[in-house]
Structure 1
Amino acid sequence: MKTTYSILTVILSLMIFAGCQSLTEDPKGTLTPVTYFKTQSDLDASVTAMYIRLARDGGWGFTSKETSYFGSDDYTTDPGLNKQDMRDFDKLAGGSTNQSMVSQWQGPWETIYQANNVITNYDKVTSTAELKNASAGQAYFLRALCYYYLVRTFGPVPVILGTIDVNDRPPRDEVAKVYAAVISDLQMAKTLLGTKLEQGKPNKYAASSLLADVYLNMAGWPLNQVSNYALAASEAKSVIDANVYNLNTPYDKVFSTNNSTESIFALQYNIGGGLPNRRFGSSNIPLDEVAVDGSSGWDDVYPEITFFQNAPKCTRTDLTFYTTLKLRQADKTTFKLVPWSSAETHAQHPYYKKFRAGLNGDGVKETDTQLLSIQPSTNKATDIIRYPLVLLCYAEASAMASAPTADSYAAINLVRKRAGLADLAPGLSQTAFRDAVVYERAYEFAGEFGVRWFDIVRLQILPQVIASRNTVENPVPTGTNISQKYIAPIPYTEMVRNPEWQQNAGY
């Protein structure tokens, strides 16, 4: 029995990974959902497996989880080197055979498989209602999270909420049905999860935070259900009023420590346990930079020049972007400091400072004038939901539901204050206020897991973003139908397995 689209491939991948990874994970929680679900320990093993499937390198543990979002202005990559998978989507020319994009598909589906195991069987376990509900609540939350990313990335996908026959090839369900399943799961998660703050585990506030973001996106393309603005504002307000999270952590510390006071839900990593996060460190470091020990940058990800130049002048911007490169000299111990635009640099682009250090420097160890080491694998948690996302969701949704209110301004101004910016000018129109929030979100979450891309998608502003690109960026081919580039193609291998499916338009 199987719960996702690709039966044999997923089962084999789960078996192989369970056999080689070194985390404390009981394979009983992965392989046989009927036979082994007897005790709370068995259930805990399957819950752990959900997170591992999502967080691992072949899921959301590397840059490949963001491949199809490179059409955004906060992402670009090298015009050469071994970056073709990301470069193709940067040029709005990515295709269904793109190998890196598979992580965006596979990670969520493997997690949905595990979540369905838990949801189908948790009530059969001999345990307390409290413990069983906590396990089920996590499963509902993660299943919703995964479907939410799948539907925004690929459009219509099969909604599979239980076990299906190994020979079944379910059809792709319309976007509205996928969103309905996401909402249902999050509402269920809210009833099952408590309010306790636990590292790496969602709680009731995480479910409300995600639900607020879901409603906000539903108010935009492709559903355009503007009545959901009020629902988004209500869910976000419930988190704000709980007064559990805050922005007291300095902006740079959010990206060099784990589980700060604003972290609502984050995927946890552990190099020693065989689960490294490779989104920080080397992936964001210029090719030009070589440390004293000989380690160097990979040049995978950096912002477009126009995006950088349009950033507000504030402390947050200084902490976000890396603008002075350290070039190792012939003696291998001294470094020449040059600006990002120098002809001495390879890409002549700014980079992301916020993704350099990793957890307390396990990515890049450096001083102001010297690079000591550059590592690709870090223990840094990936924040999926940060409190500023809730504040800005509330600001926009409350304003769009009626008009900008004092509370709308208060929410965005909390984010601006931490950034080192003055309060937003009062008296803005509804549209102007929304645009100010979208701009604020672009730079608060610059380079973070598709946040900017999904704003571009729901607001259908890709033509404007492409038009403002600097001419040195990877070029979009003449004749590209930009309206067809808001969602990614279904991976080729999945189209082969499901011959009744129709590929997304433009691919």
Structure 2
Amino acid sequence: MNKRYFLPLAIAAMIGASSCVKLTEDPKATLTPGNYFNTQSELDGAVTSAYRALAIDGAWGFTSKLTSYFGSDDLTTHPASNKAENREFDRLQGTSINNSLRAEWEGPWNTIYQVNNVITNYEKVAATTPDAVQKRNYAGGQAYFLRGICYFYLVRTFGPLPIVTGPAEITVIPERQGPDKVYAQIISDLKKAAEMLPDKWPAGVDVGRPGALSARAVLANVYLTMAGWPLNQTSNYNLAAAEAKAVMDAKKYDLVPDYLDVFKTNNNIESVFGLEYNVAGQLPNRSFGATCIPDDEGGWDDFFPEINYFKDAPVCKRTDETFHTQIKSNKFGVISWDDPRTATHHPYYNKFRYAAGDGIVETPTKVISFNASTNKTTDVVRFAETLLTYAEASAMSANTVSDEAYEALNKVRRRAGLKDIVKGLSATAFRDSVVNERKYEFAGEFGQRWFDIVRLQLLPKVIARRDPNEFKDLPLNPAAVANPGPKYLAPIPFRDLNLSPGWTQNATY
């Protein structure tokens, strides 16, 4: 995270080289609590190790973290090139042997194993003063937070999971538990984190560390998700609204005035929780800059929006800042995204080009240079999400729309350059307005659109709205079009399934 927390190079290299995380792997091979947690500084180092395990390229540091979310309308990829693994899921044809999928599975599991060791052993660190006890608890609270958010991403992506909350026995293969039990564990972890952490770390201190409000913001999303598929526990709308409201009332976060600055700055007032990166510290973020720059401009062309997703975007400042529509072709000069001479005939994302000032360098007519490795923080939770979670959850829980719910939605719309939603909507119509706002507020961001599609079962509508020219030579999986339900979950990676007798693969994989 912040460079004062970087691990010694030997430990960092060990974690960076850990490319295979199996549920049968003994985490004591990575950390040895018996002789590691002797001091607070060693405990802090173990927590930093867990962050790094989640932030690396093979986890959440590259676009592979999006692989199974390409079934969404805000993500598509080059029809040729080396994007086959993303194309599989873009066509709803994903497989369990997809190598990029492993980032979504291994990154969180590696982190869970490491924080389990912290949670099991942090209280063994000697603490003889209230200040020392507090620092020790802060380390434990971060571990609980990381375990909660990792399980949250895993359960939404893969469905039933083993619940591992302590050092894993090398001979034990835990059973996959239903989402209800996984969510119970997530809630327990995030509540524990909220009890143990400060509301928000002081500015400039322990940058990138989640606070109690971070945990409550994630809890709000957890409850909102539980109100939808697969649990459909609508009573959780009220809990989602309460957690989001607590974060709002604390007045520790706000919207960045200019939407584009969210993606050009680090640790701004809108960032509720983000993963920190440092190229010089051998921890680059490769999800910005080159990855979303068109092939016509010399970029990597990894991801961009579908045609009708772009065409359906509201006319506003946020849309102008989100999308890149004038391609600075190395061969033809500045041409429109739909010019037949472009490689993909698609618009691109503008908001991911810049990173934290170390992404692209360009003039109005030409790309000068760009970087594949940047120092840009990945904002996993933004305050805009909390506002929209509150708006939707409060309306659905009360079956009526309060003035506060309208204001939460309209605050996001005003920043976008849109007019206020006029009052008088039914709760359901208002919910649909909020979901549509989320669709473009979080365009292309880490699973946000896909998770809305999943919890609200929107895939049939997304498929129906797909432009017929959307790489028509690479059609959608006909079986998935006829029965999209099973595609809401990704497959368990084959290698892990094969190492876990008794597990059953998710349907259709």
Both structures adopt the same fold (TM-score exceeding 0.5): yes
Q: Which of 221, 240, 252 is the equivalent residue of 1:244?
A: 252
Question: What are the within-5 Å matches in structure 2 for residues 213-232 of structure 1?
Answer: 213-232=221-240
User: Helix, strand or coil: the match of 2:296?
Assistant: coil
Give CA deviations for 1:238-261 in whole Å, capped at 9, x if unaligned. Answer: 011111111133111110110111
Partners of 1:482 and 1:33 in 2: how far apart?
46
Q: Are residue 156 (structure 1) and residue 166 (structure 2) matched?
A: no
Give CA deviations for 1:42-64 in whole Å, capped at 9, x if unaligned. Answer: 10110000110000001100000
Does 28-37 or 385-394 show the bigger shift? 28-37
User: Helix, strand or coil: the match of 2:35?
Assistant: coil
Change (3 A) 1:31 1:79: same
Contact 1:28 1:36 in 2 (8 A): no
Partners of 2:85 and 2:175 in 1: how far apart?
28
The one-letter code sitting in structure 2 at the alignment partner of 1:344 is R
Partners of 1:40 and 1:174 in 2: how far apart?
37
Q: Are residue 209 (structure 1) and residue 217 (structure 2) matched?
A: yes
Offset, 1:19: 7.6
Give CA deviations for 1:5-41 in whole Å, capped at 9, x if unaligned. Answer: xxxxxxxx988634879xxxxx999521222111111
Partners of 2:78 and 2:402 in 1: how far apart?
43
The one-letter code sitting in structure 1 at the alignment partner of 2:447 is G
Partners of 1:29 and 1:124 in 2: how far apart?
20
The one-letter code sitting in structure 1 at the alignment partner of 2:421 is L
The one-letter code sitting in structure 1 at the alignment partner of 2:485 is S
Q: Which of 246, 259, 265 is the equivalent residue of 1:257?
A: 265
Contact 1:156 1:175 in 2 (8 A): yes
Q: Are residue 394 (structure 1) and residue 390 (structure 2) matched?
A: yes
Aligned to 1:3: none
Does 188-197 or 266-275 show the bigger shift? 188-197
Q: Are residue 372 (structure 1) and residue 368 (structure 2) matched?
A: yes
Q: Are residue 309 (structure 1) and residue 315 (structure 2) matched?
A: no
Partners of 1:215 and 1:395 in 2: how far apart?
14
Does 28-37 or 471-480 show the bigger shift? 28-37
Aligned to 1:74: 74
Q: Are residue 60 (structure 1) and residue 60 (structure 2) matched?
A: yes
Question: What are the within-5 Å matches in structure 2 for residues 65-104 of structure 1?
Answer: 65-104=65-104
Partners of 1:368 and 1:15 in 2: how far apart?
41
Q: Which of 440, 444, 447 is the equivalent residue of 2:444?
A: 447
Change (3 A) 1:195 1:29: farther
Partners of 2:162 and 2:96 in 1: how far apart?
18
Contact 2:59 2:107 in 1 (8 A): yes
Contact 1:28 1:42 in 2 (8 A): no
Partners of 1:211 and 1:163 in 2: how far apart?
25
The one-letter code sitting in structure 1 at the alignment partner of 2:379 is D
Q: Which of 484, 493, 496 is the equivalent residue of 1:494?
A: 496
**Deviation above 6 Å: which 4+ runs of structure 1?**
none
Offset, 1:375: 1.3
Aligned to 2:300: 298
Q: Are residue 196 (structure 1) and residue 193 (structure 2) matched?
A: no
Aligned to 1:337: 334
Aligned to 2:344: 347
Partners of 1:461 and 1:428 in 2: how far apart?
21
Partners of 1:18 and 1:482 in 2: how far apart?
37
Aligned to 1:332: none
Consecutive unaligned residues of structure 1, counting only runs of 5 or more, are: 1-12, 22-26, 290-295, 330-334
Partners of 2:333 and 2:156 in 1: how far apart?
44
RMSD, aligned CA: 1.7
Q: Are residue 112 (structure 1) and residue 112 (structure 2) matched?
A: yes
Partners of 1:305 and 1:135 in 2: how far apart?
45
Q: Which of 429, 432, 437 is the equivalent residue of 1:432?
A: 429
Contact 2:54 2:108 in 1 (8 A): yes
Consecutive unaligned residues of structure 2, counting only runs of 5 or more, are: 1-9, 19-26
Change (3 A) 1:245 1:19: closer
Partners of 1:499 and 1:29 in 2: how far apart?
23
User: Helix, strand or coil: the match of 1:31?
Assistant: coil
Change (3 A) 1:503 1:206: same
Contact 1:29 1:43 in 2 (8 A): no
Q: Are residue 416 (structure 1) and residue 413 (structure 2) matched?
A: yes
Contact 1:133 1:192 in 2 (8 A): yes
Partners of 1:280 and 1:496 in 2: how far apart?
34
Count matched residues: 478
Change (3 A) 1:416 1:15: closer
Partners of 1:76 and 1:345 in 2: how far apart?
16
TM-score, normalised relative to structure 1? 0.92
Change (3 A) 1:326 1:156: same
Partners of 1:95 and 1:448 in 2: how far apart?
23
Offset, 1:344: 1.4
The one-letter code sitting in structure 1 at the alignment partner of 2:335 is V
Does 373-382 or 242-251 show the bigger shift? 242-251
Offset, 1:374: 1.6
Aligned to 1:286: 294
Q: Which of 116, 136, 143 is the equivalent residue of 2:140?
A: 136
Offset, 1:164: 2.8
Partners of 2:178 and 2:200 in 1: how far apart?
35
Does 379-388 or 161-170 show the bigger shift? 161-170
Partners of 2:330 and 2:73 in 1: how far apart?
30
Contact 1:29 1:45 in 2 (8 A): no
Contact 2:31 2:114 in 1 (8 A): no
User: Helix, strand or coil: the match of 1:43?
Assistant: helix
Q: Are residue 471 (structure 1) and residue 468 (structure 2) matched?
A: yes
Change (3 A) 1:153 1:96: same
Change (3 A) 1:285 1:166: same
Contact 1:249 1:262 in 2 (8 A): no
TM-score, normalised relative to structure 2? 0.92
Aligned to 2:328: 326
Contact 2:334 2:365 in 1 (8 A): yes
Partners of 1:108 and 1:388 in 2: how far apart?
24
Offset, 1:196: 3.1
Partners of 1:353 and 1:463 in 2: how far apart?
28
Contact 2:321 2:351 in 1 (8 A): yes
